[in-house]
Amino acid sequence: MKARVTVTLKPGVLDPQGAAIAQALGGLGFTGVQGVRQGKLIEIDLAEGDAATARAEVEAMCEKLLANTVIETYAVEIA
Amino acid sequence: MKAAVVVFPGANCDRDLAVALRAAGFDVAMHWWKDAGLPQGLDVVGLPGGFSFGDYLRCGAIAARAPAMDGVRAHAARGGLVLGICNGFQALIEAGLLPGALMRNAGLRFVCRTVGLETAGRSPFTHGVPPTLRLPVAHHDGCFVADDETLARLKGEGRVAFRYAPGENPNGSMDDIAGVLSENRRVLGLMPHPERAADPALGPADGAALFAALAGAGAGAPA
């Protein structure tokens, strides 16, 4: 199975990189940009064949390493 | 007095830290990150600055899960002294040994200069350290953040060890925080580099006072 983990900063946590991207987009003429938040995408190939077990395993990975839950949240997609 | 410096791949201040600790009177062992068990009878464990594991994922995140950190946790749990500098501070936070988080500098730039600091908290690391000093910083991810409750606790318990002097905050850290202490005040993480300013032959040596404080604490510590 494949897992896609999206890690993003929690709402309210200052994201200077997102702010810089928003400013750059404005500079390129994209005037409608009201906010940008930058995150990261992690793709994982898993030997596990059962979706529920795979999800539990990837959520454990997120808690232990992939996300810093002090400042970040994560979402897991299994396919 | 015995100290160990944990060496991670990508660390680049490990030898500077060892030199500063030796100059203060410590026997220093360099400890490889893959070895879980630290040497016996240590007074101090140092986590050096650098770019452990290439800063991949998050700064200090992979170092914080290295086998040697089991030994560091056990040392801290026994009340041993732990000093994490720059990337070592990031690793201590990622390991959960210190609160909060260290994020990308507010100005987005890598900052490399000498900054003014104020010694704020009482601890084995700051005993005898002057109220103001100047130390180099060199980091891209040193913006200390914490939720309101954690910040209030740190301030209320006097666990902010160092603050950037007014107007000299290089990274946007909340409350100008440059270094924080654990609850028992025996684990210190700080972004500035005292080991890079510890030898008068190489310029200002304000950082030497911190290692002298550690030596005093180590000498008085139970074996």
* CA distance to partner chain B, nearest, from residue A70 (Å): 7
Find chain A residues with C-beta within 8 A of B171's C-beta: none
For residue B220, pLDDT beyond 60: no
B192, containing H or E segment: none
What digits encode the pLDDT tens for the residues A20-51? 999 999 999 999 999 999 999 999 999 999 99
User: So where are chain B's domains?
Assistant: 2-220
Q: Are B108 and B76 in contact (CB under 8 A)?
A: no
Average the pLDDT over A65-74 and give the result: 96
What phi, psi does B74 have (nearest 5°)?
-65, -40
**Neighbouring C-beta atoms of residue B83, cutoff 10 Å:** 29
Q: What is the pLDDT of residue B219?
A: 63
Beta carbons within 8 Å of B149's beta carbon, 6+ residues apart:
none
Taking CB atoms and an 8 Å cutoff, what residues of chain A touch B145?
A: 13-14, 71
Q: Please state the rounded mean pLDDT for residues B78-86.
A: 97
CA atoms within 13 A on the CB side of B5: 23
B140 tagged catalytic? no
Q: B114-118 long-range contacts, Cβ below 8 Å, gap at least 24?
A: B114/B197, B114/B204, B115/B164, B115/B165, B115/B168, B115/B170, B115/B178, B115/B192, B116/B164, B116/B165, B116/B168, B117/B162, B117/B163, B117/B164, B117/B165, B117/B168, B117/B178, B117/B192, B118/B162, B118/B163, B118/B164, B118/B165
Query: In the CATH scheme, what is the code of domain B2-220?
Result: 3.40.50.880
Q: Enumerate the residues of chain B whose CB falls inside 8 A of the CB of residue A20.
A: 108
B195 is catalytic: yes
Distance from CA of A13 to the nearest CA of B (A): 9
DSSP 8-state class, residue A6: E
Q: Is B193 a catalytic residue?
A: yes
Would you call B65 and A64 a contact, using CB atoms and an 8 Å cutoff? yes
Nearest CA in chain A to B63: A65
Residue B222's pLDDT is what? 41
- At B156, the pLDDT band (50, 70, 90 cuts) reads very high
Distances, alpha carbon B16 to alpha carbons B47, B82, B191, in Å: 11, 16, 15
Query: pLDDT tens, B20-42?
Result: 999 999 999 999 999 999 999 99
The minimal CB distance from A68 to the residues B62, B94, B143 is found for: B94
Helix (H, G, I), strand (E, B) or coil at B159: coil
Q: How confident is the model at residue B218 (pLDDT cuts 50, 70, 90)?
A: low
* Res A14: pLDDT: 86
Q: Which of B62, B65, B145 sits opposite A13 (nearest CB)?
A: B145
Q: Looking at residues B77-103, what average pLDDT do you find?
A: 97
Q: Where are the domains of chain A?
A: 2-78
Per-residue pLDDT tens for B96-112? 999 999 999 999 999 99
Is the per-residue pLDDT at B178 higher than 70?
Answer: yes
| Secondary structure percentages of chain A, helix, strand, coil, to 5 | 35, 30, 35
Residues of chain B with pLDDT > 90: what percent?
Answer: 95
Catalytic residue among B13, B59, B86, B143: B86
Report the mean per-residue pLDDT for chain B.
Answer: 95
Nearest residue, CB atoms, B145 vs list A65, A66, A71 = A71
Which homologous superfamily is A2-78 in? Answer: Phosphoribosylformylglycinamidine synthase subunit PurS (3.30.1280.10)
Cβ neighbours of B204 (radius 10 Å): 16
B58 chain-A contacts, CB cut-off 8 A: 68
